[in-house]
């Protein structure tokens, strides 16, 4: 028997208790990278806390593209979990990231917009920014597979 | 020992030394590559292969131990960048413009991930790269990817960075 309840029950319980944002603490890599979730004016935001470890270019310095991609992908997944009653974690089918500006060594934020969510597939668009939301540092389009155990 | 044999040995030594020097630059200048424990295992003109040893703290799905997609995209981005660095002469600063990844099958828990990237075309300002991530058999890919990189020529400023 697993010690923790299945993820679906954990999601439902987290939503019911108002502790949805703490779900991401279950994800080992999110803890390692410094990812968290915050509600801002009712909008779910992903946050990538700056850490020197996340640098990809020491000369500039700039964040590694992979850390920004991880923020974008996680924010898309948790937006779907928030909006829909998913029995399992949605699976990423594909993700296309456009890097618009170099990521400065500060915190990075992201917000996902579900373009379309069908029964099996969801299209999600995500934007990441730092100090100015009007000047995004990266955007992503991602396709996710829903409800597959 | 024939001269040809000596030549082959010398070439192998030179290749191993180049790999060692590049591995140091690759992790010393890129803290995130070091944090992930990435190892450079192939470095030829236009081609790079990286190995990611499996670690529990890189897991994205707490239910089954599968690596986080962000780990796979980090490895793919790093490998594609390395392939571009190995192609552009002389060495120039580069930046990822876009990166598309198709996740063909879930990465196997507990297994190292390999990624091989090949630079398919380099122009003055743009490099095109294709990559495959797998567990040892490139014919059974975990992910395939296509990326484009900006190549910064002398005097050109990088986007998002204020001119001095």
Tell me what ipTM this predicted complex has.
0.93
Nearest to A65 by CA among A36, A107, A100: A100
Half-sphere exposure of residue A130: CA atoms within 13 angstroms, side-chain side: 16
Q: Do A95 and B100 touch (CB under 8 A)?
A: yes
Q: What pLDDT is attached to residue B159?
A: 60
| pLDDT attached to residue B3 | 66
Q: What is the pLDDT of residue B156?
A: 67
Distance CA B14, CA A56 (A): 27
Q: How far apart are CA B155 and CA B124, in angstroms?
A: 14
Distance separating alpha carbons of residues B162 and B157, to the nearest angstrom: 8
Q: Which of B58, B61, B101 comes nearest A95 by C-beta?
A: B101
Best residue in B96, B97, B156 for a mutation probing chain A (most A CBs within 10 Å): B96
Mean pLDDT across B67-71: 96
Is residue B118 within 8 A of residue B46, CB to CB? The reply is: yes
User: Which pLDDT score, from 0 to 100, does residue B1 have?
Assistant: 53
Of A29, A64, A95, the CB nearest to B30: A64
DSSP per-residue string spanning chain A? --SSPPHHHHHHHHHHTT-GGGGGGG-HHHHHHTEEEEEETTEEEEEE---GGGEEETTTTEE-HHHHHHHHHHHHHHHHHHHS--SSPPEEEEEEEEE-SPPPSS-EEEEEEEEEE-SSEEEEEEEEESS-TTS-SEEEEEEEE-S--
Q: Which residue has the higher pLDDT, B5 or A18?
A: A18
For chain B, what percent of residues have pLDDT higher than 90? 70
Average pLDDT, chain B: 90
Residue B34: Cβ-neighbour burial (10 angstroms; 0-12, 13-18, 19+): middle
Q: In sequence order, what are the residues at sequence separation of 6 or more whose Cβ sits closer than 8 angstroms to the Cβ of residue A86?
A: A8, A11, A80, A146, A147
Evaluate if residue B157 carries a pLDDT over 80: no
pLDDT band at B126 (very low <50, low <70, confident <90, very high): very high
Do A29 and B101 count as a contact with CB atoms less than 8 A apart? no
- Check residue B134 and give its pLDDT: 98
Give residue A6's pLDDT.
73
Considering only CB atoms, which chain A residues are within 8 Å of B61? 27, 89
What pLDDT was estimated at residue A115? 97
pLDDT for B70-118, tens place per residue? 999 999 999 999 999 999 988 888 999 999 999 999 899 999 999 999 9
Specify the pLDDT at position B163. 44
pLDDT exceeding 70 applies to what percent of chain B? 91
Residue A11 is predicted with a pLDDT of 85
pLDDT value at position B155? 66
Q: Is the pLDDT of residue B162 over 80?
A: no
CB contact under 8 A, A66 and B161: no
Q: Which residues contact B21 (CB under 8 A, 6 or more apart)?
A: none
* pLDDT tens series, chain A, 149 aa: 455 567 778 888 888 898 999 999 989 999 999 999 999 999 999 999 999 999 999 888 999 999 999 999 999 999 999 998 877 789 999 999 999 999 999 999 999 999 999 999 999 999 999 999 999 999 999 999 998 64
pLDDT at B119: 97
What is each CA distance from A26 to A35, A78, B8, B29, in whole angstroms?
A: 11, 12, 51, 31
Kindly state the tokens that stand for A121: 């597939």
């Amino acid at each position: 028997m697993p010690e923790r309840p299945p993820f679906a029950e954990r999601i439902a319980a987290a939503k019911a208790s108002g502790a949805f944002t703490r779900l991401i603490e279950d994800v080992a890599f999110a803890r390692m990278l410094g990812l968290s979730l915050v509600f801002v004016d009712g909008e779910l935001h992903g946050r990538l806390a700056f850490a020197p470890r996340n640098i990809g270019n020491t000369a500039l310095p700039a964040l590694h593209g992979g850390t920004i991609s991880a923020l974008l992908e996680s924010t898309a997944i948790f937006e779907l979990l928030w909006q829909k009653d998913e029995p399992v974690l949605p699976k990423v089918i594909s993700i296309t990231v456009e890097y618009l500006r170099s990521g400065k060594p500060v915190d990075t934020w992201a917000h996902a917009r579900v373009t379309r969510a069908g029964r099996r597939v969801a299209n999600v668009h995500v934007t990441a920014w730092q100090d100015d939301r009007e000047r995004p540092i990266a955007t992503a389009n991602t396709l996710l597979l829903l409800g597959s155990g | 020992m024939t001269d040809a044999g000596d030549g082959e040995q010398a070439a192998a030594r030179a290749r191993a030394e180049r790999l060692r020097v590049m591995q140091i630059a690759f992790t010393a200048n890129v803290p995130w590559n070091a944090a992930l424990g990435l190892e450079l295992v192939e470095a030829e003109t236009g081609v790079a292969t990286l190995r990611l040893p499996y670690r529990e703290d890189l897991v994205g799905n707490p239910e089954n131990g599968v690596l986080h997609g962000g780990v796979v995209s980090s490895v793919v981005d790093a490998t594609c960048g390395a392939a571009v660095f190995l192609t552009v002469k002389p060495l120039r600063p580069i930046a990822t413009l876009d990166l598309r990844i198709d996740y063909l099958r879930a990465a196997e828990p507990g297994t190292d991930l390999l990624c091989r990237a090949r630079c398919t075309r380099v122009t003055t300002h743009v490099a095109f790269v294709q990559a495959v991530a797998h567990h040892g058999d490139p014919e059974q890919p975990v992910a395939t990817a296509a990326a484009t990189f900006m190549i910064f020529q002398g005097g050109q400023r990088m986007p998002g960075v204020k001119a001095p």
